[in-house]
Structure 1
Amino acid sequence: MATGGGAGVVVFYPAGRDLPAWRERHTAGAAPDRWPYGLDRLDRFLPVVTARNLPNVSSAGRAARRLKALLPPGRRPGRPVGVTWDENAGVFLSTTGALSARYSGVVWLTDSVARQGGSAFHGMRRAMRRMDGLWVLSDAQVAPLTDFLGSGAPPVHYVRFGVDHDFFRHVTYPARPLVVSVGGDRDRDPETLLRAMTAVRRARPDVDIVVQSKTSIDPPEGVTVIPYLTHAELRDLYARASVVAIATRPNLHVSGMTVGLEALSTGRPLVITRTPGMDDYFGGTTAARMIDVGDADGLARETLAMLDDPVSASVAGTAGRAHVEAGFTTAQLAGRIADVIRSR
């Protein structure tokens, strides 16, 4: 087992991540978890867990790391275990020395390889093969990533995501109708979302709609688009919402699951696109309804059904909160990652 022993575990974050500022916001009640993604909670399962930033690397430093990547990774017994959240930070972890083992999550790589081909990601493949273990957040990613990495690669584990249910606390269902959509990652589908919201407004002109997105599409009348929300603003917006609606394009990494779980944690029902892996997160609760990719009519229909029956929507939201507490908190996520680290 690679638990780090007395040397412990170091969670490495990107060089630009301001960890002291994050901790200050968390202490002030303005950010979830003490560290991003709740990895501070690893200290419940593993000894001596600390966090630090990966170093800023100059052009010369990058060249040196590329040369180092051609050598065996090297493992130093008695030194800490290194952990990173995703493959982009994992590239730097792969050539970070003085570690007994290295573990990383993989988020976007499987979709990138599927769309662009594996030859475009040879360097990423080499870096991930230097790890002692990897985890993904969707079971639909396990086989593609395993195939891409090839024989002799580290094991790939499926780890269910979680959110800070203390920060995204359950709030009484609102009286005023409001539809909320949040998220601007590369696999969101603003075209389908805004078509659906147009239909919602046509049927229920009394309903306000707020969309957090960086889309350049002009929103329909009655839909407010904002580019960015702080964590505290996002929490307050969920609290005002009657239903949260998410539209995504085809993907393997379960785009939208973070927002979906945060909404359920707040006690808000969810309408979301069904993509591979989504059933593992929302298939077991009445709080979520799933629609097909590109189905604007279905997204509008299910959203309106919840708006038109606020009593049932409130009950569904309460069920959603219980669903998160039962298996989708950051403490539970940390426990699953700790199992990956201990599995070696």
Structure 2
Amino acid sequence: MSDVTLDIAFPVERHVDDWQYRHAQGKVPGFWPYGLDGLGRYVDRLRAQAVAEPDTLARARARLTRRGRHPEPALRWNAGETRPTRDIALSWDENAARRMLAACPRPEMYCGVIWATDAAARGADISAIRRVLRLMSGMWVISSGQQAALVELVGENGPPVGFFRFGVDETFFTFHRPPTTPLVLSIGGDRDRDTETLFAALGRVHELAPETEIVVQTSSTLPPPAGVRTIERVSHVELAALYARASVVAIATRQNLHASGMTVSLEAMASGRPVVISDTPGIRDYVQGSPIGRSPQTGLLVPVGDAGAMAAQIVALLNDPELCAALGRGGRQVVETELNTTHMVRELAAFIGL
């Protein structure tokens, strides 16, 4: 008989118990962050583990425990075969993987990788994270721009690297008809957001379309230009309401491999909003700047660091409500059929052989 136990290591700061409570109240998407509770459909037991930052002794103990042990690979079997007993742990990113290795090591361990490839490309010392990654049974990325870089990073005989696309909860971020009052919205402040370019672009938008409201959620200390209102962090409910009011969602990022801005792009698309975003490796996995086959156009891509191009595309959309609506419908279609948490979890389950 099969017997598969899967532990998902969440940083203790995630407060998964509280997340579950807020989900029951309709305040956050997904029963667990990233919709990873959906993996319960593929295993006999699914558990959330809160993992704290390990101390020096715990990190050393974890390295010694797994030193010399080759990570167990993802298992595959044919239809009709009995699944073996498996004890698995996984984490969403490499920083949580470091904690997982110390707090809840398992015979099979998997993690996503988000930040390490860009850190390596910029010359940072990532030797400690590389050691953690080489102890995994497998790793995945959610940007095709990272895959080759991660294979090179972990080196010869490293764990396998998979790629699948991220998804959002399309039942939380719901479709809305285009607004009647123009609003340009920008959300997010991860380390690869380009606030300087964004503010320059939005300042130009204000000059060309002064009747347009412009709202930016950011933690940047840069002063915003005239006509641009900045706000602090917002709740998921407030975020969904902002998308519903928006005409266009704009995201400026610096050059990066991990597709910074993908989450906001998908949330906006799920809400029926067109996206204008910097064209970085991997972002085309999510935002289609032109129709491809049966995939509709969902947004507009602009060169990295080009504030003029971003402003021009935003204003073009504001002046073309029909195109805005068409891109919004296309975005919603893609999220409903491909870029949702159910699809993502299915791909993740397949990667680890569930």
TM category (shorter chain) comes to over 0.9
Residue in structure 1 matching 2:196, options 191, 208, 215: 191
Percentage identity across paired residues of the two chains: 41
Q: Which residue of 2 aligns with 1:92?
A: 99
Gaps of 5+ in 2: 73-83, 289-294
- State the secondary structure of the residue aligned to 2:139: strand
Deviations 1:235-290 (A, max 9, x none): 11101100000000000000001100100000001101110111121124322100
TM-score normalised over the length of structure 2 = 0.90
User: What is the aligned residue count?
Assistant: 338
Letter in 1 for 2:34: Y
Residue in structure 2 matching 1:200, options 198, 202, 205: 205
The offset of 1:42, in angstroms, is 1.2
- State the secondary structure of the residue aligned to 1:342: coil
The offset of 1:216, in angstroms, is 1.1
Q: For the Cα contact (< 8 Å) 1:171–1:267, is it kept in 2?
A: yes
Gaps of 5+ in 1: none
Q: For the Cα contact (< 8 Å) 2:62–2:101, is it kept in 1?
A: no
- State the secondary structure of the residue aligned to 2:3: helix
Residue in structure 1 matching 2:51, options 44, 54, 63: 54
Summarize the Cα distance change of 1:196–1:98 in structure 2 as closer, same or farther, 3 Å threshold: closer
Letter in 1 for 2:280: T
Deviations 1:12-54 (A, max 9, x none): 1012221111011111111010101111111233332221212
Letter in 2 for 1:328: L
Letter in 2 for 1:11: I
- State the secondary structure of the residue aligned to 1:161: coil
1:38 aligns with 2:49: no
Summarize the Cα distance change of 1:97–1:41 in structure 2 as closer, same or farther, 3 Å threshold: closer
Letter in 2 for 1:104: C
Residue in structure 2 matching 1:318, options 319, 325, 329: 329
Summarize the Cα distance change of 1:269–1:74 in structure 2 as closer, same or farther, 3 Å threshold: closer
Q: Which residue of 1 aligns with 2:121?
A: 114
1:253 aligns with 2:264: no
Deviations 1:180-219 (A, max 9, x none): 0011011100111111101110011100000011111111
User: Hey, what's the Cα distance between the residues in 2 that align with 1:144 and 1:5?
Assistant: 36
More displaced, 7-16 or 83-92? Answer: 7-16
Q: What is the RMSD of the two structures over their aligned residues, measured on CA atoms?
A: 2.0
The offset of 1:159, in angstroms, is 1.3
Summarize the Cα distance change of 1:59–1:130 in structure 2 as closer, same or farther, 3 Å threshold: closer
Deviations 1:100-121 (A, max 9, x none): 311100001000001025xx11
Q: Which residue of 1 aligns with 2:180?
A: 175
More displaced, 236-245 or 61-70? Answer: 61-70
The offset of 1:10, in angstroms, is 1.1
Q: Which residue of 2 aligns with 1:239?
A: 244
Q: Which residue of 2 aligns with 1:285?
A: 296
Q: Which residue of 1 aligns with 2:79?
A: none
More displaced, 53-62 or 185-194? Answer: 53-62
Letter in 2 for 1:342: G
More displaced, 44-53 or 78-87? Answer: 44-53
1:268 aligns with 2:273: yes
User: Hey, what's the Cα distance between the residues in 2 that align with 1:97 and 1:31?
Assistant: 27
Summarize the Cα distance change of 1:93–1:17 in structure 2 as closer, same or farther, 3 Å threshold: same
Letter in 1 for 2:302: I
Q: For the Cα contact (< 8 Å) 2:275–2:287, is it kept in 1?
A: no
Summarize the Cα distance change of 1:29–1:173 in structure 2 as closer, same or farther, 3 Å threshold: same
Deviations 1:144-178 (A, max 9, x none): 11111111111000111101111001112110100
User: Hey, what's the Cα distance between the residues in 1 that align with 2:140 and 2:51?
Assistant: 20
